[in-house]
Structure formats: C-alpha cells, structure tokens
C-alpha cells in the first residue's frame, strides 16, 4: 500500500469521499432538478433512492476497492475475473466524459467568483452572454483543469485529503448562513412550501427516473470513483458507517442548497424551472441586494466555495482514469495526470461551444424521434450520466452479488465491522445488490437508450 499512498486517517477518507460526492451535483444540479421535477415530491423520491438503492451500491464499490487496492479496471482482475474488467473500462470512460463537461460548468462557477469580486451583480441577467464568451469560458476551463491536475498529481494524502478536510466544513457554515438569510426574504414561505410540501400526484415515472439519476450522480456512483477511493482505505475502516456519513453529507448539502435556493427563486419571482442557469441567474442579484460591500464578500465567498466543491469532485473524476493509467499502463503519476487532463480538456471544448457560441454544437443532435435538437453538453451528459452510470452501477452490484459472491463482499465489510454478520443491514444490502439495484438500474439504462437514442418514449 505504501507505494500507492493512502488516506492518513479515517476522517480523511470520509471527508475526501464526501467531497467527491458533494459538488456541482448538489448545489447547481439538485435545485434545478427539483424545480423541473415539481418540487417536494421530487425531494421525497430522491431521498428514498439515496438511502434504499444508492447506499448499498456505495458500500459495494468501497468494499471492492478496499479488498483489491486497485483502480476500477484492475480491481476486477485482482478478484480473479479478468473478463469483467470491461465494467472498469466503462467507468474510466464515464469519468472522462463527465469531467469533460463538468469542468466547463466548474469554470463558470469560478468565473462568477471573479465577477463577484468585481461587484458585477448584473451578471445574472447576462448569464447567456457570459457562457458564450468563449475566451472567458475557455480560460476558466483551463485554470480549473490545471488546478484539478495539480491536486491529483500530489497524490492522495498530500493533495486530496488535506484540501477536503478544510473545505467541507467551511462550505456547510457558509450555506447555513445563506439559508438563514433566504428565510428573511419576501415570498420565502412560498419557496419553502414548493420545496417541502409534497404533492404526491407529482410522483410520476419520469420524476422517479430523474430523481434516481440525480441521487446516483450526486453520490458519485456507477463509475468506480468509490472503488478508487476505497482502494486507499485501511482495513480498520468500518465501511458501513463511512458510507452512512458520506451519504448523509451529500444528501444534507443538497438539501441545504434547496433550502437556500427556493426562497431566493420565489423572492425574485423567477420560475423554478429555470434549468441549468438557475443558480447563475438567481444568485448574483441576491448578493447584490446585500449592498455592495457585503454583497462582494458573501457573493465571492459563495462562488469560491462552489468552485472548491466542484474541484474536489473533478479531482475524483480525474483520479479514476489516472489511477487506471498509473496502475495498468505503468506511466509515472505526474505524466499520466497531465496527459489525461489535457485529453479531457480537449474533449470538453465542444461542451464549451454548445451553449450558443457554435451553432453546430448548440443544435448538435436531433435524437431519432425527438422534437428538437440537443446541445452537445446535454448530449454528452446523457451518454455519461444517464447511460454509463446506471449501466456501470447495475454491473458492479450484479458482479458483486453473483460473480464475486455476496459472502466475499460480506467478509470484506466485516473487516472493520466485526458485528456485521447477521445484522439487518447485511440482509438488506444482500437483497438490494442481488435484486433491487440491478433490476432498477438496468431498467433505467434500457429506458435511457430507448428514449434518448432510439426515440422510443416509454413514458
């Protein structure tokens, strides 16, 4: 283990894995998914999926990683099932695809930090100008990818662990403050009602589909990010309690983000269905309303922290392909990091152009049977988040339950949790990974492929 490095402490691993989970998915994506999904009903379904379905997948990924101490591809070989290493390859590809567009949005967040420092609170109204300013978007994208690469090249305890331990608490405190402020605004009550009072008639199949996708993405599952992080964890670690903390932190921060956003959105009279622009359009005006000094301080701090939250996620996204290249192709870590980062950045260029700058990438693809074209960024997120992740997740749990075998998984979990055998948690996890998770996730994969790529709209 010494040669690969590892986490120095228990809290270090939990913090790092939680920081992988907490990112743009929670603060940028979750509120607009809730907004589009009809509000509180979405939140209820999301929570149910996070604990009932995603949690067992998380435990499985961490256990596979710790058992094998390998990257997601090597892990399958190490367990004696070389034929299943394609699952890891899928994960490496998913990581590369997700990072390519995630880095673009992370660059926007960082760009907003700079705008807030300049006191440019009007930027919210000019969001679409901002994202079509290719010099800015490209520049921030380079800065962001380089920062990610620098942390990853420093290795596990030096880079990832240190950064995570400081950033997470700061983010939580900052958000609590913003939640408190949002409650004082006019119409805050309406926002909270929208967010917290479920209208159960809104629970439809499409809402369930989106809620599960959101939970899965937000918890960084299905691509081996947690196999990779698990591979640096010591045998003394209790995987179950670690996974509980990681899930609680992730869900908790998404929940806080919603609690902050909806009063803001309703106080400004903006429709909650604003989509990916929601936080970028809504928040600057709110910060401006705090007055110029306070607005600059709070606004820039917020977007800086959002950038940091994104950074700890981009780090885990990059770590997956890098650990693969380092372990399997045996290239030096530093070289591997910059090589992969460069490649992913280039792959991200179409996503940068896809928000209005280039007509070709903005109206990139018309799915068979779809009414309208989809921009490249949405397209690649369909491929990665909605196709590769559920497929990867289904395969990982299927593999653990039937190929590697449940008993071996349970034995691995018992290390660090001696009383695990016979508990209700053990029985539930066995059930979830044998039936519930593979079935649901595989169905999601099929539905996506039919709907997105073949124009067969099941719902």
Instruction: State the nearest-atom distance from the C-beta of 390 to ligand PHE, in Å.
Output: 12
Q: Which long-range contacts (CB under 8 A, 24 or more apart) does 248-252 make?
A: 249/14, 249/18, 249/21, 249/22, 249/168, 250/18, 250/21, 250/22, 250/26, 250/50, 250/218, 250/219, 251/47, 251/50, 251/51, 251/218
Nearer to ligand PHE by C-beta: 214 or 268? 214
Nearer to ligand PHE by C-beta: 214 or 267? 214
Residues at the site binding ligand PHE, with contacts judged by CB under 6 A: 20-21, 23-26, 98, 217-218, 220, 223, 225, 313, 316-317
Nearer to ligand PHE by C-beta: 20 or 153? 20
Nearer to ligand PHE by C-beta: 92 or 131? 92
Nearer to ligand PHE by C-beta: 149 or 225? 225
| Tokens standing for residue 321 | 């392909």
Instruction: State the nearest-atom distance from the C-beta of 218 to ligand PHE, in Å.
Output: 4
Backbone angles phi, psi at 373, to 5 degrees: -70, 160
Find tokens 């600059």 and name the residue.
Answer: 296
Instruction: State the nearest-atom distance from the C-beta of 23 to ligand PHE, in Å.
Output: 3
Instruction: State the nearest-atom distance from the C-beta of 177 to ligand PHE, in Å.
Output: 22
Under DSSP, is residue 3 helix (H, G, I), strand (E, B) or coil?
coil
Instruction: State the nearest-atom distance from the C-beta of 368 to ligand PHE, in Å.
Output: 28
Radius of gyration of the chain from its Cα atoms, rounded to whole angstroms: 21
Nearer to ligand PHE by C-beta: 29 or 288? 29
Least Cα distance to 212 among 457, 443, 459 occurs for 443
Instruction: State the nearest-atom distance from the C-beta of 122 to ligand PHE, in Å.
Output: 27
Nearer to ligand PHE by C-beta: 267 or 316? 316
Instruction: State the nearest-atom distance from the C-beta of 385 to ligand PHE, in Å.
Output: 8
CB of 321 within 8 A of CB of 329?
Answer: no
Nearer to ligand PHE by C-beta: 295 or 321? 321
Instruction: State the nearest-atom distance from the C-beta of 269 to ligand PHE, in Å.
Output: 28
CB of 165 within 8 A of CB of 12?
Answer: yes
Residue 284 exposed, middle or buried by CB count within 10 Å (0-12, 13-18, 19+): buried
End-to-end CA distance of the chain: 48
State the Cα torsion 268-269-272-273 to the nearest 10°: -120
Instruction: State the nearest-atom distance from the C-beta of 251 to ligand PHE, in Å.
Output: 11
Nearer to ligand PHE by C-beta: 308 or 398? 308
Under DSSP, is residue 374 helix (H, G, I), strand (E, B) or coil?
strand
Residue 153's contacts (CB-CB under 8 Å, 6 or more residues apart) are: 159, 333, 334, 337, 338
The C-alpha atoms of residue 438 and residue 444 are separated, in whole angstroms, by: 10
The C-alpha atoms of residue 5 and residue 232 are separated, in whole angstroms, by: 7
Instruction: State the nearest-atom distance from the C-beta of 302 to ligand PHE, in Å.
Output: 16
**Nearest residue (beta carbon) to ligand PHE:** 25
Nearer to ligand PHE by C-beta: 23 or 284? 23
The C-alpha atoms of residue 105 and residue 303 are separated, in whole angstroms, by: 12
């Amino acid at each position: 283990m010494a040669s690969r490095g590892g986490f120095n402490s228990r809290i270090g691993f939990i913090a790092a894995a939680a920081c992988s989970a907490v990112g743009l998915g929670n603060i940028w994506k979750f509120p607009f998914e809730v907004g589009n999904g009809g509000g509180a009903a979405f939140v209820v379904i999301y929570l149910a999926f996070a604990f009932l379905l995603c949690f067992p997948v998380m435990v499985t990924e961490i256990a596979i990683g710790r058992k094998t101490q390998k990257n997601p591809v090597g892990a399958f070989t190490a367990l004696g099932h070389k034929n299943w290493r394609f699952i890891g390859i899928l994960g490496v590809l998913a990581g590369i695809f997700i990072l390519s567009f995630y880095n673009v949005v992370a660059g926007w967040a960082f760009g907003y930090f700079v705008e807030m420092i300049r006191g440019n609170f009007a930027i919210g109204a000019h969001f679409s100008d901002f994202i079509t300013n290719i010099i800015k978007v490209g520049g921030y994208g380079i800065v962001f990818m380089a920062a990610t690469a620098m942390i990853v090249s420093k290795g596990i305890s030096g880079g990832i662990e240190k950064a995570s331990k400081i950033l997470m608490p700061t983010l939580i405190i900052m958000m609590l403050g913003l939640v408190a402020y949002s409650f004082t605004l006019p119409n805050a009550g309406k926002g909270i009602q929208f967010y917290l009072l479920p209208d159960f008639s809104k629970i439809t199949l499409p809402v369930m589909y989106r809620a599960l996708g959101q939970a899965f993405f937000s918890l960084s599952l299905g691509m081996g990010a947690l196999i990779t992080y698990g591979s640096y964890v010591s045998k003394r670690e209790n995987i179950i309690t670690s996974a509980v903390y990681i899930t609680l932190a992730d869900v908790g921060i998404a929940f806080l983000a919603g609690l902050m956003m909806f009063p803001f959105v309703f106080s400004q009279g903006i429709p909650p269905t604003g989509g990916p622009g929601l936080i970028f359009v809504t928040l600057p005006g709110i910060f401006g309303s705090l007055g110029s000094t306070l607005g600059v301080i709070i606004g820039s701090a917020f977007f800086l922290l959002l950038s940091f939250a994104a950074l700890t996620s981009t780090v885990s996204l990059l770590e997956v392909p890098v650990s693969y290249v380092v372990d399997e192709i045996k290239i030096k870590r530093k070289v591997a990091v910059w090589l992969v980062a460069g490649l992913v950045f280039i792959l991200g260029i179409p996503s940068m152009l896809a928000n209005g700058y280039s007509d070709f990438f903005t109206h990139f693809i018309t799915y068979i049977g779809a009414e309208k074209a989809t921009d490249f960024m949405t397209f690649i997120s369909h491929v990665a988040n909605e196709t590769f992740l559920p497929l990867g997740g289904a395969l990982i749990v299927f593999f653990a339950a039937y190929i590697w075998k449940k008993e071996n998984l349970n034995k691995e979990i018992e290390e660090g949790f001696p009383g695990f055998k016979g508990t209700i948690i053990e029985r539930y996890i066995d059930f979830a990974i044998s039936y519930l998770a593979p079935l649901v996730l595989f169905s999601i994969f099929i539905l996506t492929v039919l709907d997105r790529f073949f124009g067969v709209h099941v719902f």
